[in-house]
Structure 1
Amino acid sequence: MSISAISPFPDEVSIREALAKGTLILTATQRLSRHLTQTIGVRDFKVGRVPTILPVDAWLVQTWRSLSETHKMPQRLLSASERDTLWRQVIESEVTENAGFSLVQPETAVQLAGRCRRAVKDYVVPMSSDRVRSYFESEADTRFFLQWLTKFDMRLKAEGWVVAEDLAEDITARNPTCSEDKQRDVWFLSEEPPVPSLEKVLLGQFKRVHWFRSETLTYRLPTQAFDSRESEIRGAARWGKEQHDAGLASVIVLSDYQQDRALLEHHLRAEFGVQDQVFTDLPVNFSRGIELSKVPMFRDLLLFCRLMAQPLTRQEVTALIRSPFFFVNDDDRAVRGPVLSRLYASKRGSFGLSQVITALSQVAPGSPLERALSRARADRLHHVRLSASAWCERLIPLLQEANWPSASGLDSLEYQQADLIEAVFDAIEINPVAKDVLSLGTFISGLKVALDSQLFQPKTDISQLQVMSLGDTVGLNFETVRVVGASAERFPRKAAGLPLIPWRICHEFEMHEVMGDCQRLVSSRLLMQLASLGSVVLSYHRIADGAHNLPSEFCDVPSNGVESIAYKLVEVDSVMSPFADERGLETQVPTEQLGGVSLLEKQAMCPLKAHLSHRLDLRALESETQGLSAGERGGLLHKALQCFFTGMGSSELINNISGGAMAALAEEAAAMALQSLHSTVRDRVGLPYLEVEHTRLVRLLITWVGIEKQRTIPFVIESLESTFDWTCGGLTLSLTADRVDQLQNGQQVVIDYKSGGSHSASGWHQSPLKSPQLPCYSQLLENVGTIGIARVGGSDPNYTLLGGAIGLSAADTQSEKAMATAGVADLSELKDRWGLELSDLVRGFVEGDAVATPSANACRYCDFKIICRAHLSEASDVIQESDDE
């Protein structure tokens, strides 16, 4: 005997008649069971047997528990989170015992192993068969899964536990004899066929079993195309509002519910005008709740816990510091930016407990988060092993110390979420699998599993407008339907695959999870069911992640495509009036400015950049760096040159030093430079990298001393890394000269070190002034005769000069040509011009000149592109390489 397949789905009249005859109705989903119970009203039946409509999963549990009581075989049915905990224990123990095997993503392995075992049970794969086991032994992944599966089953048997996928097999094995059920019919309402294990138990229990399904779709459905995912979902929200206003029973079907739900809700709120109101004001029902682990309140709770056990990534620590559930007043919230700036300044890719506590203690000492994390560090929780209940007792005071979840600022929706924390802790404490002492990391994994298994479904009134996945619509009736995301890539959805089960086993037992045709067939039936009762329109977007998107096979799209549906923005009814604001936002300019050279260079290159960075003090967060950053390498080179020339203060000493002594001095200078690094930088880059950097510095120093030895005009090093204050236009700038030499004739040579790139003297004598750094020193020092850039690094180390000769023939010749181009014979002739142009730059900054002047040089390494929206094309002129400072 086999199950008979009948199409189409029965109507309400047929179901009512079947119930009156004592037929058991089993549904594929709980939603359909609840819908039929409400619409048909089984409480009104006046028969001996109470009519029954149950989800098939609930029927299996009910039958199994009845048999367990009858046979007096007490067993524990594990919940989904308890099952995952057992899988985690099994996999961790196997990985520990197999030294040559490791897992990059253990949590993924837990979920995958559970899914594959369910498939093995659903399709009644005889795992005791030598032939079947030989297939599993043929590949490494399937072989390890076989070992996990064996140990998992042994634990279940030893402890007297059962998981959901075992119920059908367990019921069949006990071979219940229920004469009353044997005379009863069963209707199974599902678009998917019953899996073999379910088919077997149904045929063993009942007289006749009928599987009802819809017909397959025989035509294509009307389709609308959009240019982007954003516009498609916005269009769906507007469609939903129109159907709601018309009083129609409607549903928006999301082909990717998890990905698109949040964006759709955002646009629905905008359409219904409830953006700033509580969740329940939105007259829309969402079919599925949200896992608590994905709710912001509990997501941040997990981040807080994980930080106590392991470092967090940049994105994770940013989410934690910005969380509204740990900072409780305006003062605390104002420190988030500075805390993140301090953390990011270390250029680390991840941050541990100590780094976060240090940043918090420097910026926000005594804040709730800082107190709680400091307490966790003092208790050394990452070294403690406790039972699950003991961990819950430890965690609760820490959360109270951190003032989580900042109850004074919660809305009604967040209050509903916060009330679930006790249920989560109870689920952890009563978990029979997690009875051993646990490390903090293992406890946090269990906490996440408990949060994953707990769904949050806000309490809302029943609405005419629903949002569902396609699978949720089985057996339901709607007047209008909108399917979002009907692209070839996502609809019908691709077969998930079972990588831990051999391919031959999957095909021999016809496992639907790997059969693409099955997914297509189910989607076709679901669409046909919706289309037979109402109006269905599909939509898709043409561009996804920069690539062209093709419509689904169910879309009625002409060969030349369809025109995109463009929804006009809501027009503002009020008349817009111009407003003249010539003054703008008044800001006070500090009379003293650090980094004066940087200010002047930015003002000369792009006034907007100087205004944002120095006047408004906007700073981009430091990016993650592997090893030393360009700025750190440049700083080390400056420090090494300073240390080296501190002991070599004249050309005479430089020329007389021997090769061995020079190498020794270079080694010492490089070592002193590396010692000047902050301990956090040394910890970040590691000793091997610093040894390589030491070798680089020694090489650069020795090479540069060779250049200095070639200078034929004697000189004395007058100063190294000297700081000067320069006041101009009411603004005092702090300037640092890398090096100042004095020649025999008393003229000064101001030198700026660069570790790479190509540099031209034209930026010093052209008007307007493009390179104001070195010309500034002509306003501070009395006898500046030459300014120059010392290219210490790069493939061609040498000087770029403007002014008098320094005794290097090639550099002096280029300087003479530059002076001739400028039309001057002496640098002093440029001093007055420089003074005027520098004053103009300062005046422009003080007066708020913030005009954006995009150029290749200005935009190449700019942090403010999002503000001015300048775009640097790939066809830009060749730009000089970035300097390491």
Structure 2
Amino acid sequence: MSISAISPFPDEVSIREALAKGTLILTATQRLSRHLTQTIGVRDFKVGRVPTILPVDAWLVQTWRSLSETHKMPQRLLSASERDTLWRQVIESEVTENTGFSLVQPETAVQLAGRCRRAVKDYVVPMSSDRVRSHFESEADTRFFLQWLTKFDMRLKAEGWVVAEDLAEDITAHNPTCSEDKQRDVWFLSEEPPVPSLEKVLLGQFKRVHWFRSETLTYRLPTQAFDSRESEIRGAARWGKEQHDAGLASVIVLSDYQQDRALLEHHLRAEFGVQDQVFTDLPVNFSRGIELSKVPMFRDLLLFCRLVAQPLTRQEVTALIRSPFFFVNDDDRAVRGPVLSRLYASKRGSFGLSQVITALSQVAPGSPLERALSRARADRLHHARLSASAWCERLIPLLQEANWPSASGLDSLEYQQADLIEAVFDAIEINPVAKDVLSLGTFISGLKVALDSQLFQPKTDISQLQVMSLGDTVGLNFETVRIVGASAERFPQKASGLPLIPWRICHEFEMHEVMGDCQRLVSSRLLMQLASLGSVVLSYHRIADGAHNLPSEFCDVPSNGVESIAYKLVEVDSVMSPFADERGLETQVPTEQLGGVSLLEKQAMCPLKAHLSHRLDLRALESETQGLSAGERGGLLHKALQCFFTGMGSSELINNISGGAMAALAEEAATMALQSLHSTVRDRVGLPYLEVEHMRLVRLLITWMGIEKQRTIPFVIESLESTFDWTCGGLTLSLTADRVDQLQNGQQVVIDYKSGGSHSASDWHQSPLKSPQLPCYSQLLKNVGTIGIARVGGSDPNYTLLGGAIGLSAADTQSEKAMATAGVADLSELKDRWGQELSDLVRGFVEGDAVATPSANACRYCDFKIICRAHLSEASDVIQESDDE
């Protein structure tokens, strides 16, 4: 006897009649079971047998529990998290002994092994058969899985445990010869056929078994095409609002529910005008809850625990520091930015417990997070090995000290989430599998599994508008349907595959997980069911990740494509008024302003950049750096030059030093420069990198000494890295001159070191002034006759000068040409003009000038592009042309 397949799905009248006759209705999903129970009202039946509508999984559990009371069967049904814990133990023990397995992610291996064992049980693969086992032994990965499977089954048998995929087999093995159900019919409502193990148990339990399914789709469905995923989902949200307003029972079906749900909710909130309101104000029902591990509150809890056990990435540390569940008042929240700035300033790619505690203790000493992390470090929890219950006892007070989850600031939805933590820890403590002592990392993995298995679904009013995956719609009726993501790549879904089961076994037993046609057939039936009862429209986006997307085979799209559907933006009823924001906050003078020359250079380049950086004190977080950053290498070069020329204070000493003495002095200067690095920087880059940097510095110093030796005009080094205070317009800036030389005629040469790049003397004499740094010193020093940039690094080390000669033929010639172009005989003639332009720059900053002036140089390394109001299309073209050159 076999199960008979009947199409189409029965209607409610037929189901009511079957229930009246005592038929058992089994559904593929809990949602369909609940829907039928509510719509048909089984409590109203006046028959001897209570009519039953159950999800098939619930029926298996119910039947197994009944049989286990009278037969010698396993007495403990493991939950999903307990099953995963057992798999994790088996795999970890096996991987420790066998390093040849190809999977390197333990959690991936756990999930994959669980899927493959379920397939073996569902399709009744005889694992005791020598032929079957020989197939598993043929490849390394499948051989390892066979070893895992053997140990997993031995552990289940030894402990008296059973998992969900074993229920059908156990029921079949202990099926009584005479049962009341033998005289009963059963209807199985599912678009997918029952797997062999289920088919076997149903046929053994019941008189007749009927499998109801829909017909397959015989035509293509109307389709809309969009240019991007964003526009497609925005269009679906607009459509949902229209259907809701019309009072129609509607559903938005997401082909990739996990990926698209959050974006769809965002746009639905915008359409319904409830962006800043609580979850329950959105009149939409989502078919699936959110895994607790993905809820922000518990996501941050996991980050906190993981930080105690191992370093976190930049993104993870940022999420933890910014978490509202670990800071309790406004003062604490105000320190998040400075804490992150201190961490990012180290330019590390990841941060351990000590680095985070150090940053917190410097910025927010005594904060709940700092106290809790310090306690965890003092207790050396990252080295401890405890039982699961002991870990719960240690972590709960630690979380309380961190003030998680900051209950005073929770909304009603977050209170519901916080109430679930006790149930999660209880599930971990009573887990019969996790009885051994565990490292903190292993416990955290188990905690994540427990959070993954717990879904959070807030109670909301029943709405006419639903959001589901396609599989959730089985047996449900809707007046209008919108299916999002109907591309050839995503719809129907591709077969997921079972890589730990040999290909021959998969095909021999016709496992649906690897049969692409089965996925297509099920999708076709689900579409037919929806289309037979309501209006169905598909949509897809034509560009994904820069590549063209093709429509699904179910889409009715002409061969030449369709017009893009573009919804108009919501029109604003009020009249829009222009708002000029080129003026920022004024600076109260007199005052000492941080920033020095950098402020003037940014003001000359782009006033908006100067205002954001120095008036509003906005700073971009430092990016991760492998080795030393460009700024750090430049700083080392400045320090090495300072140390080098401290012992070489005149041209006479420079010219008379021997090659050996020069090399020794360069070695010593490079060493002193590297010793000036902060310990955190040295730890980050490592000794081998610093040794290479030492060689680079020595080479640059010796090469530059060759340039200095060519100077024919004697000089004395007057100062190195000297600091000056310059006041202009009530604003006092602190300036540092890299080096000042004095020539025989008493004229001063102000030198600025650069490690690379191109520089032009025209930046100093053209109006407006582009490079104000060196002209500033003409306002401070009395006898400045020459200003110059010393290009110490790069392929062409030399001077770029403006002013009198310093005894370098090529550089002096270029300086003479620049002076002629400027129309001046000496630098003193530019002093007044520079004074006026510098005053204008200071006045603009003080008055709050915040005009964006895009250019290639201003925009290339700008941190404020996200808030800049200028249209940068032309500037981008300039930058591109400059880069091409």
Please say whether Structure 1 and Structure 2 have the same fold, judged by a TM-score greater than 0.5. Answer: yes
Deviations 1:59-105 (A, max 9, x none): 11122222221113343111000011111111111222224557532
Over 3 Å counting, the alpha-carbon distance change for 1:702 and 1:578 in structure 2 is closer
Q: Distance in 2 between matches of 1:869 and 1:108?
A: 46
- Select between 421-430 and 760-769 the one with higher mean Cα deviation: 760-769
Asked whether the equivalents of residues 756 and 882 of structure 1 are also in contact (C-alpha less than 8 Å), the reply is: no
1:224 is displaced (CA, Å) by: 2.1
Asked whether the equivalents of residues 68 and 74 of structure 1 are also in contact (C-alpha less than 8 Å), the reply is: yes
Asked whether the equivalents of residues 758 and 881 of structure 1 are also in contact (C-alpha less than 8 Å), the reply is: no
Q: Distance in 1 between matches of 2:747 and 2:562?
A: 77
1:234 is displaced (CA, Å) by: 2.5
Deviations 1:161-207 (A, max 9, x none): 11111111222233432343223222111001111221222222223
- Select between 98-107 and 256-265 the one with higher mean Cα deviation: 98-107
Over 3 Å counting, the alpha-carbon distance change for 1:111 and 1:742 in structure 2 is same
Query: Normalized against structure 1, the TM-score is what?
Result: 0.96
For residue 821 of structure 1, give the secondary structure of its aligned residue in structure 2: helix
1:681 is displaced (CA, Å) by: 0.8
Q: Distance in 1 between matches of 2:369 and 2:590?
A: 33
Deviations 1:429-459 (A, max 9, x none): 0000101111111111111110000000101
Matched, 1:616 2:616: yes
Deviations 1:681-737 (A, max 9, x none): 111111111111111111111111122122222221111111111111111111111
Deviations 1:811-865 (A, max 9, x none): 2222222222222222222222221221121122112222111111111111111
Q: Distance in 2 between matches of 1:832 and 1:571?
A: 56
1:793 is displaced (CA, Å) by: 0.9
Q: Distance in 2 between matches of 1:791 and 1:572?
A: 56
Percent identity, aligned pairs only? 98
Query: Normalized against structure 2, the TM-score is what?
Result: 0.96
Q: Distance in 1 between matches of 2:22 and 2:806?
A: 109
Asked whether the equivalents of residues 288 and 457 of structure 2 are also in contact (C-alpha less than 8 Å), the reply is: yes
Over 3 Å counting, the alpha-carbon distance change for 1:584 and 1:772 in structure 2 is closer
Q: Distance in 2 between matches of 1:263 and 1:363?
A: 36
Structure 2: give runs of 5+ residues left out of the alignment.
none
For residue 878 of structure 2, give the secondary structure of its aligned residue in structure 1: coil
For residue 881 of structure 1, give the secondary structure of its aligned residue in structure 2: helix
For residue 671 of structure 1, give the secondary structure of its aligned residue in structure 2: helix
- Select between 859-868 and 182-191 the one with higher mean Cα deviation: 182-191
Over 3 Å counting, the alpha-carbon distance change for 1:587 and 1:26 in structure 2 is farther
Q: Distance in 1 between matches of 2:726 and 2:129?
A: 88
1:873 is displaced (CA, Å) by: 6.7
Deviations 1:634-678 (A, max 9, x none): 001111111111111112222222222222211111111111111
Asked whether the equivalents of residues 136 and 142 of structure 1 are also in contact (C-alpha less than 8 Å), the reply is: yes
For residue 331 of structure 1, give the secondary structure of its aligned residue in structure 2: helix
1:527 is displaced (CA, Å) by: 0.7
Asked whether the equivalents of residues 189 and 212 of structure 1 are also in contact (C-alpha less than 8 Å), the reply is: yes
Asked whether the equivalents of residues 587 and 847 of structure 2 are also in contact (C-alpha less than 8 Å), the reply is: no
Asked whether the equivalents of residues 859 and 875 of structure 2 are also in contact (C-alpha less than 8 Å), the reply is: no
1:231 is displaced (CA, Å) by: 2.7
Over 3 Å counting, the alpha-carbon distance change for 1:103 and 1:381 in structure 2 is farther
1:137 is displaced (CA, Å) by: 2.9
Q: Distance in 2 between matches of 1:874 and 1:578?
A: 23
Deviations 1:358-377 (A, max 9, x none): 11111112211111111111
How many residues align structurally? 885
Alignment of 1:685-834 (within 5 A): 685-834=685-834
- Select between 498-507 and 326-335 the one with higher mean Cα deviation: 498-507
Over 3 Å counting, the alpha-carbon distance change for 1:497 and 1:371 in structure 2 is same
Q: Distance in 1 between matches of 2:267 and 2:838?
A: 52
Over 3 Å counting, the alpha-carbon distance change for 1:275 and 1:883 in structure 2 is closer
Over 3 Å counting, the alpha-carbon distance change for 1:705 and 1:356 in structure 2 is same
Q: Distance in 2 between matches of 1:229 and 1:557?
A: 18
1:143 is displaced (CA, Å) by: 2.5
Q: Distance in 1 between matches of 2:695 and 2:299?
A: 46
Q: Distance in 2 between matches of 1:294 and 1:495?
A: 26
Match of 1:72 in 2: 72
Over 3 Å counting, the alpha-carbon distance change for 1:869 and 1:500 in structure 2 is farther
Matched, 1:40 2:40: yes
- Select between 698-707 and 873-882 the one with higher mean Cα deviation: 873-882
Q: Distance in 1 between matches of 2:807 and 2:508?
A: 86
- Select between 218-227 and 392-401 the one with higher mean Cα deviation: 218-227
Alignment of 1:497-536 (within 5 A): 497-536=497-536
Asked whether the equivalents of residues 585 and 615 of structure 2 are also in contact (C-alpha less than 8 Å), the reply is: no
Deviations 1:252-274 (A, max 9, x none): 11111112222222222333333
Q: Distance in 1 between matches of 2:143 and 2:794?
A: 55
Q: Distance in 2 between matches of 1:581 and 1:878?
A: 25
Asked whether the equivalents of residues 788 and 801 of structure 1 are also in contact (C-alpha less than 8 Å), the reply is: yes
Asked whether the equivalents of residues 604 and 841 of structure 2 are also in contact (C-alpha less than 8 Å), the reply is: yes
Deviations 1:566-604 (A, max 9, x none): 333333334445678897655546721233211111111
Over 3 Å counting, the alpha-carbon distance change for 1:234 and 1:700 in structure 2 is same
1:235 is displaced (CA, Å) by: 2.5
Q: Distance in 2 between matches of 1:270 and 1:59?
A: 42
Q: Distance in 2 between matches of 1:656 and 1:533?
A: 99
Q: Distance in 2 between matches of 1:37 and 1:44?
A: 11
1:126 is displaced (CA, Å) by: 2.3
RMSD, aligned CA: 2.4
Matched, 1:846 2:846: yes
Over 3 Å counting, the alpha-carbon distance change for 1:103 and 1:588 in structure 2 is farther
Over 3 Å counting, the alpha-carbon distance change for 1:405 and 1:875 in structure 2 is closer
1:240 is displaced (CA, Å) by: 2.1
Asked whether the equivalents of residues 145 and 500 of structure 1 are also in contact (C-alpha less than 8 Å), the reply is: yes
For residue 779 of structure 1, give the secondary structure of its aligned residue in structure 2: helix
Deviations 1:267-321 (A, max 9, x none): 2233333333332232222111110001111111111111111111111111111
Asked whether the equivalents of residues 583 and 849 of structure 2 are also in contact (C-alpha less than 8 Å), the reply is: no
Match of 2:10 in 1: 10
Q: Distance in 1 between matches of 2:411 and 2:69?
A: 46
Q: Distance in 1 between matches of 2:259 and 2:580?
A: 44
Asked whether the equivalents of residues 757 and 883 of structure 1 are also in contact (C-alpha less than 8 Å), the reply is: no
Q: Distance in 1 between matches of 2:502 and 2:166?
A: 21
Q: Distance in 1 between matches of 2:118 and 2:166?
A: 8
Q: Distance in 2 between matches of 1:879 and 1:10?
A: 67
Asked whether the equivalents of residues 651 and 714 of structure 2 are also in contact (C-alpha less than 8 Å), the reply is: yes
Over 3 Å counting, the alpha-carbon distance change for 1:230 and 1:587 in structure 2 is farther
Asked whether the equivalents of residues 589 and 615 of structure 1 are also in contact (C-alpha less than 8 Å), the reply is: no
Structure 1: give runs of 5+ residues left out of the alignment.
none
Q: Distance in 2 between matches of 1:881 and 1:671?
A: 41
1:142 is displaced (CA, Å) by: 2.3
For residue 595 of structure 1, give the secondary structure of its aligned residue in structure 2: coil
Match of 1:385 in 2: 385
For residue 874 of structure 2, give the secondary structure of its aligned residue in structure 1: coil
Over 3 Å counting, the alpha-carbon distance change for 1:841 and 1:465 in structure 2 is same
Asked whether the equivalents of residues 754 and 884 of structure 1 are also in contact (C-alpha less than 8 Å), the reply is: no
